[in-house]
Amino acid sequence: MIDLKNVGKKYGTTTAVNDLSLEVKTGEICVLIGPSGCGKTTTLKMINRLIEPSSGQILIDGRDSSSLKPFELRRGIGYAIQSVGLFPHLTVFENIAVVPKLLGWQKPKIQARVMELLELIGLDPNRYADAYPKALSGGQAQRVGVARALAADPKVLLFDEPFGAVDPLTRERLQNEFLGLQQRLKKTVVFVTHDIDEAIKLSDRIAIMKDGKLEQYATPEQMLEQPANAFVRDFIGADRGLKRLARVFVRDVMRPSAGVKLEDQNLRTSSVFVVDSGGVLRGWLDPKVSAAQDAFSAHQWQDISVFENTNVREALSRMISLGFQVLPVVNGAGVLKGELSLEQAMSAKGNL
Amino acid sequence: MTNPNRIALLGCLLAVSSLVWLPFLELKANRLVAGSGRRLLELGAAGWWLVGLLLLAGSSAFLIPRFRAPALAILGNLVFIVGIVLIGLDASKLLGSSTLARVSLAPAAWLMLVSSSFLIFAALNDLKNIWLKRLTSSVGILVFLVILLTGGLSSLSVIREYQTRLDTFWLEVGRHLGLAIWALFTSSLFGLPLGFWAARSKRFEGFILGFSGLLQTIPSLALLALLITPFSALVRAFPILESFGIRGIGFAPAITALTVYGLLPIARGVLNGLKAVPETALEAGRGMGMTSVQLFLSVEFPLALGLILNGIRTSAVQLVGLSTLSSLIGAGGLGVFIFGGLGSAANDLVLLGAIPVLVLAVLTDAGFRTLEQASIPKGLR
């Protein structure tokens, strides 16, 4: 648990952060968000004392952070930044091993841990352990940055726009991977971003700041339903209904679908989707065409489906771009799991 | 048709025309009087070999690159070697049995040597294989060293000067190196921390850069002369210093002046090196819990090392050159020959000092460059 009590930071006469109190529960992701200069990054850096607070107190798992030496405190807190900051003269392995080495771990333990982390972030250890940062793509470098933050298995992670510098596609993939990791690891995370969609997607709670002050601290659902004031409402944007859908997953609203087997296309039962003997999606049947062989159009499942763990907002956007009223829902292997209709997607907006 | 290699072509034209029209060697009745020039072809029919080789090299500049590079590499080295051999043979022929007469190189010989380096340079540009490059650039020099050491050039005036000063020559080379090495040491002693502080403090950085610019404008000769007075006064005030070899003239003021010039490239190298370390790497390092000492040793220093060594190299090469001036305040070094030769209008004595300084500077540069390359972390190459 991270507990900020009346924390403030002044530079001369300017107040960067003003009397901020915030409690981040163990195992939760708290996203700090706000316009540039609102004090979100300052707040984050006060937690690991890269910036010393001018006033107030920060407790990490009940312990006053000022009772430790800054470097001791930081070794227990994972830290990843937007520019990644991998050490260019060290290999991927050595970069990830920095904190374990600082903590004096034995070599075999470091070796095992780094390999485990490379697997965890989906980089082949044989190929990437001895590579230098310049050989990595932007997304790979960000993954290594996250692995480096996780290296010594800290309970607390501080992320300063870690996915800010990559293209939107990669960012979305990194966000999904991060959510998957967090489900397993249950870290206490403070995450700074200026992207409200990222905040809604990743957070358990959002702290929205303006001019060094906390405007609202609530779950994304609460914030979308009841913005505390005009600033929060404006910052979230007009499409609150749509954003709300980002918090609902397809698996929670879809209906089951068996699909039609390739070999019995004539039996147009309940579904328009065609699967092979293994259940993998192969295409769809056009209900307006009567002759069976003309009705079938074959597709790669990746091109026409969404995953169970896709959020409804993305599914809706997919529906619109494909022009479908019903989307097939598959698992990671392309096996048809169900289908999502437009009405179902709309019903997911709950009581907004 | 491919474009001819212009460097090689220019070199050949330069050499052939100078060999035809300009004197190749100069004969003087003794080391001080003015001499008379002899053209290469006046010295014997063997000269035609050299002209022939140069013409062949000139026409090979028109070959397609695949054949041109090896042709130029071979012909460039051949021109150089045949040229050196001819210089040695013709010089001894010209000298005859006279003990007072001197033979020295005249413009055509120098231009021929320059031209052969043009050819080799052109070949090095075209060659891809690193080992062929090394071979091309070293064969001529190795053969030259063999000819030199076996006495093939002993009729040349410079070698005569060397032989008559055998004992003092190596002493002065040693002194020269001693001056340069000590000065590099003291320069590093002050320059490294100065650069470090400059990188840590914005105010100090401005001071260092301004001061460095100012000091570089003081003529080095003037600085040497200016130091004589304070050092003499110092020794008068504290006579004990004299027992450490400190005097108004000689080693101590020379090292002091050299240090003034040598420390600034070093300080700048450290400053530039530390400033070039990415801020993000520093933030990441601090954020992960490195102490400032750990951050310096494992992040800043390895990343800055290349530029630090670059500064030390600049300083070292400058010091090898500047040490020449130290002879003017009695600290010895190869300047003894240069200024002695200038004073007595004996050009070959000047060369006896100047050529080793040049060689030392080139070797220093090459040595530090190798060190620099080796120090660049693999991830940055």
CATH code for the domain of B301: 1.10.3720.10
Taking an 8 Å cut-off on Cβ atoms, the answer to whether A74 and B288 are in contact is yes
Taking an 8 Å cut-off on Cβ atoms, the answer to whether A102 and B290 are in contact is yes
What distances in angstroms separate CA A350 from CA A127, A206, A241, A246, A344, one per listed residue?
47, 20, 9, 12, 11
Interface test with A, best of B277, B288, B296 (most A CBs within 10 A): B288
A280-289, B52-61, B242-251, range with the lowest pLDDT: B242-251
Question: CA B236, CA B230: separation in Å to the nearest integer?
Answer: 10
Which ranges in A64-104 belong to alpha helices (H)? 70-75, 92-96, 98-102
Interface test with B, best of A51, A83, A89 (most B CBs within 10 A): A89
Residue indicated by tokens 């003291």: B186
- Is-contact A335 A278, C-beta < 8 A? yes
Q: Note which residues in 262-281 of chain B have CB less than 8 A from chain A.
A: 278, 280-281
- Picking from B154, B177, B201, the residue at the C-terminal end of a domain is B154
Q: Which among A89, A102, A148 has the least Cβ separation from residue B379?
A: A89
| Residues B127-147 pLDDT 10s | 888 888 888 889 999 999 999
CA closest to B293 among chain A residues: A71
pLDDT of res. A352:
43
Q: Residue B368 domain-assigned?
A: yes
Has residue B118 got a pLDDT over 70? yes
Quick one: B259 and B318 in the same domain? yes
Q: Residue B159 domain-assigned?
A: no
**What ipTM was predicted for this assembly?**
0.78
HEC string of chain B equals CCCCCHHHHHHHHHHHHHHHHCEEEEEECCCCCCCEEEEHHHHCCCHHHHHHHHHHHHHHCCCCHHHHHHHHHHHHHHHHHHHHHHHHHHHHHHHCCCCCCEEEECHHHHHHHHHHHHHHHHHHHHCCCHHHHHHHHHHHHHHHHHHHHCCCCCCEHHHHHHHHCHHHHHHHHHHHHHHHHHHHHHHHHHHHHHHHHHHHCHHHHHHHHHHHHHHHHCCHHHHHHHHHHHHHHHHHHCHHHHHHCCCCCCHHHHHHHHHHHHHHHHHHHHHHHHHCCCHHHHHHHHHCCCCHHHHHHHHHHHHHHHHHHHHHHHHHHHHHHHHHHHHHHCCCCCHHHHHHHHHCCCHHHHHHHHHHHHHHHHHHHHHHHHHHHHHCCHHHC
SS3 content of chain A, % helix, strand, coil (to 5): 40, 25, 35
Identify the CA nearest to A273 among candidates A321, A322, A336.
A336
Q: How many angstroms away from the CA of B171 is the closest CA of chain A?
A: 44
Quickly count: other Cβ atoms within 10 Å of residue B294's Cβ: 17
CATH architecture for segment(s) A2-237: 3-Layer(aba) Sandwich (3.40)
CA closest to B291 among chain A residues: A71
Has residue A295 got a pLDDT over 80? no
Mean pLDDT, rounded, for A159-179: 86
| Residues B31-41 pLDDT 10s | 778 888 899 88
B294 to chain A, any CB pair closer than 8 A? The answer is yes
What distances in angstroms separate CA B208 from CA A166, A230, B144, B183, B205, one per listed residue?
40, 53, 45, 19, 5
Name the β-bridge partners of A23. Answer: A3
Question: CA B265, CA B365: separation in Å to the nearest integer?
Answer: 14
- The domain limits of chain A are 2-237, 250-347
- Picking from B90, B124, B154, the residue at the C-terminal end of a domain is B154
Q: How many angstroms away from the CA of B292 is the closest CA of chain A?
A: 9
Q: How confident is the model at residue A292 (pLDDT cuts 50, 70, 90)?
A: low
Identify the CA nearest to A171 among candidates A123, A216, A137.
A137
Gyration radius of chain A over CA positions: 24
Quick one: B340 and B227 in the same domain? yes
Question: CA A270, CA A158: separation in Å to the nearest integer?
Answer: 49
pLDDT of res. B328:
86
Q: Which among A74, A81, A89 has the least Cβ separation from residue B302?
A: A89
Quick one: B16 and B94 in the same domain? yes
Q: How many CB pairs under 8 A join A and B?
A: 73
Has residue A57 got a pLDDT over 90? yes
CA closest to A151 among chain B residues: B288
CA closest to B378 among chain A residues: A89
Q: Residue B161 domain-assigned?
A: no
Quick one: B216 and B355 in the same domain? yes
Token pair for A297:
């159009």
CA closest to B284 among chain A residues: A85
Taking an 8 Å cut-off on Cβ atoms, the answer to whether A79 and B287 are in contact is yes
Quick one: B204 and B134 in the same domain? no
B374 to chain A, any CB pair closer than 8 A? The answer is no
Distance of CA A11 to the CA centre of its chain: 33
- Is-contact A209 A37, C-beta < 8 A? no
Q: How many angstroms away from the CA of A150 is the closest CA of chain B?
A: 11
Residues 6+ apart with CB under 8 A from A150: A78, A117, A120, A157, A185, A187
Interface test with B, best of A65, A77, A98 (most B CBs within 10 A): A98
Quick one: B352 and B260 in the same domain? yes
pLDDT of res. A149:
93
Has residue A75 got a pLDDT over 80? yes
Question: CA A122, CA A265: separation in Å to the nearest integer?
Answer: 39
Has residue A351 got a pLDDT over 80? no
Give the angle B372-B378-B381 at the CA atoms, nearest 5°.
70
- Which residues of chain A neighbour B379 with C-beta distances below 8 Å? 88-91, 132-134
Q: Note which residues in 203-232 of chain A have CB less than 8 A from chain B.
A: none
| Residues B342-362 pLDDT 10s | 888 788 889 999 999 999 999
Q: How many CA atoms lie within 13 A of B288 on its CB side?
A: 34
Q: Which among A79, A88, A98 has the least Cβ separation from residue B380?
A: A88
Q: How confident is the model at residue A215 (pLDDT cuts 50, 70, 90)?
A: very high
Q: Which among A48, A98, A134 has the least Cβ separation from residue B379?
A: A134
Fold for the domain defined by A250-347: CBS-domain (3.10.580)
pLDDT of res. A267:
60
pLDDT of res. A31:
96
CA closest to A80 among chain B residues: B284
Q: In what order do the strands lie in the sheet with A260-261?
A: A260-261, A273-275, A281-285, A296-298
What residues make up the domain containing B108? 6-154
Q: Which among B294, B299, B378 has the least Cβ separation from residue A87?
A: B299
Q: Note which residues in 85-124 of chain A have CB less than 8 A from chain B.
A: 85-91, 98-99, 102
Q: How many angstroms away from the CA of A35 is the closest CA of chain B?
A: 22
For a pLDDT cut of 70, what percent of chain A falls above it? 95
Q: How many residues does chain A have?
A: 352
Has residue A41 got a pLDDT over 60? yes
Give the angle A112-A118-A120 at the CA atoms, nearest 5°.
100
The helix/strand/coil state of A212 is: coil
- Picking from B128, B154, B180, the residue at the C-terminal end of a domain is B154
Q: How many angstroms away from the CA of A96 is the closest CA of chain B?
A: 11
Q: Which among B289, B302, B379 has the least Cβ separation from residue A75?
A: B289
Taking an 8 Å cut-off on Cβ atoms, the answer to whether B288 and A81 are in contact is no
Has residue B171 got a pLDDT over 70? yes
Quick one: B289 and B314 in the same domain? yes
CA closest to B281 among chain A residues: A85
Quick one: B225 and B307 in the same domain? yes
Q: Residue B334 domain-assigned?
A: yes
Token pair for B45:
């029919």
A81 to chain B, any CB pair closer than 8 A? The answer is yes
- Which residues of chain A neighbour B290 with C-beta distances below 8 Å? 71, 98, 102
Quick one: B140 and B82 in the same domain? yes
Question: CA B113, CA B83: separation in Å to the nearest integer?
Answer: 7
Token pair for B178:
């001693």
CA closest to A81 among chain B residues: B284
Question: CA B108, CA B239: separation in Å to the nearest integer?
Answer: 56
Q: Note which residues in 140-159 of chain A have CB less than 8 A from chain B.
A: 148, 158
Question: CA B260, CA B263: separation in Å to the nearest integer?
Answer: 6
Quick one: B302 and B195 in the same domain? yes
Domain count, chain B: 2
B377 to chain A, any CB pair closer than 8 A? The answer is yes
| Residues A97-139 pLDDT 10s | 999 999 999 999 999 999 999 998 889 999 999 999 999 998 8
Taking an 8 Å cut-off on Cβ atoms, the answer to whether A71 and B289 are in contact is yes
Has residue A350 got a pLDDT over 60? no
- Is-contact B286 B348, C-beta < 8 A? no
